[in-house]
Structure 1
């Protein structure tokens, strides 16, 4: 699993300002390289190649890249606002962390700073005539980067903020977290399925004096601490859990001192919002939010809800095919199991509730439950049957047209059969 510092570094790499600052730093280094390497270039080469025109090129870049950067920022902000309104605010986080838009904006901003620093060094005549050749070569490279970036940006900006594109990003983030859990079940610890079992032999709870969502658990550090103390730890708060000073995050077999509590609290990273990284249920919940908003009377878009149902089937098929590992990587850790019932509850219950009176949504739900019940792994069969009955009950109560009820009953009968 990802360690605490690796996770923090990955969060830093997702920040827009970090990529822009990194490329801008490289842009500042280019004129410095021209100054240092200029004396080693044979005289007269600069005039033959036409490097004297680099000043005019840099002027054009400086004026155009500032406008392009401003336009790109405006477009991104408008797309984020549209996604917040039409999809869900929880999904915009993935859009902000998208590497394509960050790389595009960083390239434009870096090109502007490169041209600005280049103009300043030319005005000060720091690199000399031969250094102009080096700056000219760097300028040509920057122009090629801009051309490639603009082509990618044109293709990407037409899809930025669209419902289908945002839903796809949520699905990919959810699948990534789900596959990580499958590859390392229970975060690498032993299974602790029942709430009551968490305190069996673990009578000493550990509390965090803060309020927030558990975003990441450094299980490797926690296992290392448990090995050093010859203790076992029962994790009571999975990523995605809202904890407070009265809710324990773990249980121990011995009474911990202040140092022990501090060491355990350090491995639990809290935040104001949930994260997709170690929390597959959050991804399923966000997909359900997208479908619920689409089913609202203000938007009235059953097609998006049906699309979300199809994406949920793909994700749950990955989960159903998973093979449970028999030997935990960290035998001293016990972690609550991620259950199939929880996943189906997260994604299907809101859709069945908000789409109870829409016949096409209910039929698609019953077909989804039938597909899950027929999976070879069998992990979704019982939960799919339960949700099929609940969805049928909601439809019976909400629908007023008898032929619609009959269609849903027929679809549900196929699932239960």
Structure 2
């Protein structure tokens, strides 16, 4: 069966959202949330300053100078508080930044450098930095609103609303700081890191098109045109599915993505094959292919397995020698493969509103996913009975769950593991112990 003979349509009948790649790219950046927060707090401050000015003008119109005098005395106390908060926020920002650097350094050294993305994508971390910076900017803006005159008749504004807003931001900052420390400590624990990786992997699998009947997409025929990659060299991070589907429908063709998400592409190599007509113009295909320096979870079905395998390999290295961590990674590898055991793979077909296939996106096949999850870990498992026992138990579980046509790669890995243990085991009793399946390794 060819790579594009499985007919699929978007999950739950939803079409891909046009801003999906942009949203994912912004999640991989650290500048967007703080910048948006500082711009937003400036807008809020303008509104709060207008309210304070309106309050002062209303009191002056009513000649309520006693109330104005009380507000001026309040402003003196509020100015001292705001000044203290302004200095404290810079200290808080430095503490948060230091904690983040230490956590990232420890995680990349103990687990794998690819888990640094978990810290970058952490919503709590971004929210903490954003609120801290916004609070600091707000205190500077509020300090400019304090009037130097003590005459109630000449005062133009008293930052009453602004001061209350500053105190609310301080309270929010303290709450986020507690949540940030808790989240960072969790991310420094390998079990939570593995769980996060698995959750992201399942999110990608869930977003893939689900099976749908219909023979209309069984064969595409020969390609009528090719679209080369004209951007910079790098890893194919994702494609704008909604835009490609729209372009293909407009030109009456079917587009087939040639490299898989996560492949390294160089300028001049074909990235799209066109079936059924001429190639769309370069302008129509602009901003549909995203290339970066590293892989991302978005649309990359194998990236989660790659990270789990890396964590297990790092744990089994002589420098770390932590087979329990490798067993935890194998737990999630088996879970992920079990979830995909009966799903059609090899290709994802995206349809337009009328149900016609417009984009064929290659995804890893079952054999490729099994090899990615087990091959490298199996090579390092011979010296650790805990890992070999857990891998055998996982392979046995998968053999019970998958259909018969998908058992061959599992049986192959099981036999290769048995042969490797037979060659490395010093005694028959040790070999027999290492080849006894156990879901906990050695309990």
Common fold by TM > 0.5: yes
Kept after mapping to 1: 8 A contact 2:244/2:285: yes
State which of 182, 186, 189 in structure 2 corresponds to 1:155.
Answer: 182
The 1:50/1:246 distance shift into structure 2, 3 A limit, reads closer
Residues 161-214 of structure 1 show CA distances to partners (whole Å, capped at 9, x for unaligned) of: 3333322222221111111125489xxx9578xxxxx8x512643321342221
- 1:67: Cα distance to partner? 0.5
- 1:128: Cα distance to partner? 4.7
Matches within 5 A, 1:68-87: 68-87=92-111
Kept after mapping to 2: 8 A contact 1:191/1:337: no
Pick which of 357-366 and 117-126 moved more: 117-126
- Unpaired runs of 5+ in structure 1? 193-197, 413-417
Partner of 2:160 in structure 1? 133
Residues 67-111 of structure 1 show CA distances to partners (whole Å, capped at 9, x for unaligned) of: 110111011011111111111111111211211111111111211
Quick one: distance in 2 between partners of 1:270 and 1:184? 28
State which of 116, 120, 135 in structure 2 corresponds to 1:92.
Answer: 116
Does 2:378 correspond to 1:352?
yes
Quick one: distance in 2 between partners of 1:114 and 1:261? 46
Quick one: distance in 2 between partners of 1:204 and 1:28? 51
The 1:184/1:286 distance shift into structure 2, 3 A limit, reads farther
Pick which of 112-121 and 330-339 moved more: 330-339
State which of 12, 18, 23 in structure 1 corresponds to 2:32.
Answer: 18
Quick one: distance in 1 between partners of 2:37 and 2:358? 44
Does 2:392 correspond to 1:366?
yes
Kept after mapping to 1: 8 A contact 2:334/2:394: yes
The 1:349/1:182 distance shift into structure 2, 3 A limit, reads farther
The 1:405/1:109 distance shift into structure 2, 3 A limit, reads same
Partner of 1:35 in structure 2? 49
Partner of 2:328 in structure 1? 307
TM-score (norm 1): 0.85
Structure scoring higher RCO (CA < 8 A, sep ≥ 6) equals 2
The 1:121/1:39 distance shift into structure 2, 3 A limit, reads closer
- 1:137: Cα distance to partner? 1.8
Task: Report SS of the residue matched to 2:159.
Answer: helix
Kept after mapping to 2: 8 A contact 1:214/1:271: yes
Partner of 1:195 in structure 2? none
The 1:204/1:130 distance shift into structure 2, 3 A limit, reads closer
Aligned residues: 402
- Unpaired runs of 5+ in structure 2? 1-14, 439-443
- 1:46: Cα distance to partner? 8.1
Structure with bigger helix share is 1
After superposition, the CA RMSD in angstroms is: 3.2
Matches within 5 A, 1:110-125: 110-122=134-146
State which of 297, 303, 320 in structure 2 corresponds to 1:282.
Answer: 303
The 1:298/1:256 distance shift into structure 2, 3 A limit, reads same
- Higher alpha-carbon Rg: 2
State which of 214, 218, 241 in structure 2 corresponds to 1:219.
Answer: 241
The 1:155/1:298 distance shift into structure 2, 3 A limit, reads same
- 1:121: Cα distance to partner? 2.2
Residues 110-150 of structure 1 show CA distances to partners (whole Å, capped at 9, x for unaligned) of: 11221122122226679957632212221221122123112
State which of 47, 50, 53 in structure 1 corresponds to 2:70.
Answer: 47
Partner of 2:21 in structure 1? 7
Task: Report SS of the residue matched to 1:291.
Answer: helix
Partner of 2:367 in structure 1? 341
State which of 200, 203, 206 in structure 2 corresponds to 1:173.
Answer: 200
Partner of 1:231 in structure 2? 253
- 1:256: Cα distance to partner? 4.3
The 1:179/1:34 distance shift into structure 2, 3 A limit, reads closer
Quick one: distance in 2 between partners of 1:107 and 1:116? 14
Residues 300-340 of structure 1 show CA distances to partners (whole Å, capped at 9, x for unaligned) of: 00011000011112222322354789996251433335322
State which of 376, 386, 389 in structure 1 corresponds to 2:412.
Answer: 386
TM-score (norm 2): 0.81
Task: Report SS of the residue matched to 2:186.
Answer: coil
Kept after mapping to 2: 8 A contact 1:212/1:270: yes
